[in-house]
Amino acid sequence: MINTKSKRFCRQLLLLVTAVTLVLIEAYAQTRKPVNGLQDKPSAIHSGKEPQAGSNEELADELVEMEVKDVAAIEETRKAKNEADPKALEAAAQRWSEIKQRNTTRLKAIINRNGWPSRAMVGDRAAHAAFLVVQHSDHDREFQKTCLPMLQAAGRRGEIELWQIAFLTDMILVAEGKKQLYGTQFDPCEHSPDDPDSPCAIEDPERLEPRRKEMGLPPMSDYLKLMKESRAKSRAQAPKRP
């Protein structure tokens, strides 16, 4: 049986991993260049145009607020960890778990009523917020799997960023113990002691770069550099094993 200290340690590491993933997702959302010919409607965010505002402003505001609360909860756990306050960290982790579950439940209701929140419906910012809610719904893997074909269909219509499909696809595959397609996931999987920053196993690695390019992802060498820097930083901040 896992003791209380070990459970707390594992929970803190999980928070760090999720925080790193969030940073990477936000980095791609801000810096990724559009890939010509991949989308029917290139993203306004990355084409130099003004971000698109959706037709349902009320729903857009709600989705953005969901994202804001999620990110704030992550920042709260970071602060508690940096201040070496176990009780505060435990409380923050619990609040974040509750926020994620509420967000998942609410997004399910939104999808059941409106379909996937596309940029035409809610605008660029809120569509991205919806993706982050799904990405953080790792407590409900079936929901993530339900959302994946919706994202794929939205991607074919140019309604979302294709890299979002890549991230969610890999997350589901790795969670099921399968090889990922796009090399976006580095945890949870075993790493060589000589290379703790290696990605989880990749299907048909010889075709990895064409697959990444198709989804608007940068070359794997650039991604590895970013991951090594982020993971080294998270290891430096990680709690010492009891």
pLDDT digits (tens, 9 = 90+) for 230-239: 877 776 766 5
Dihedral angle sign, alpha carbons of residues 118, 22, 142, 166:
positive
> pLDDT value at position 241?
53
| Alpha helices in 86-219, H assignment, sequence order | 86-114, 119-135, 141-156, 162-175, 208-214
* Band of residue 138 on the pLDDT scale cut at 50, 70, 90: very high
Averaged pLDDT, 212-238? 85
**Based on C-alpha coordinates, what's the Rg of the chain?**
18
Report residue 214's pLDDT band, with 50, 70 and 90 as the boundaries: very high
In this predicted structure, the answer to whether residue 61 has a pLDDT above a threshold of 80 is: yes
**Where does the pLDDT of residue 51 fall: very low under 50, low under 70, confident under 90, or very high at 90 and above?**
low
For 75, the token pair is 């920042």
Length of the chain (residues): 242
Give the pLDDT mean for 86-104: 92
pLDDT over 90 for what percent of the chain? 53
| Burial of residue 185 (number of CB atoms within 10 Å: 0-12, 13-18, 19+) | buried
Dist CA 76 CA 29 (whole Å): 23
| Residue in 132, 127, 125, 133 with CA at minimum distance from that of residue 114 | 127
Q: What is the pLDDT of residue 22?
A: 53
Paired tokens of 136: 């953080």
Query: Of the candidates 119, 35, 108, which has an alpha carbon nearest to the alpha carbon of residue 66?
Result: 108
Residue with tokens 């979302």: 160
Higher pLDDT, 33 or 197: 197
Q: What is the pLDDT of residue 230?
A: 80
Residues 41-70 have a mean pLDDT of 71
Please, are residues 82 and 120 in contact by the beta-carbon 8 Å criterion? Answer: no
- Examine the pLDDT at 41 and tell me if it is beyond 90: no
> In 10 A of CB 193, how many CB atoms?
5
Residue 65 pLDDT exceeds 80: yes
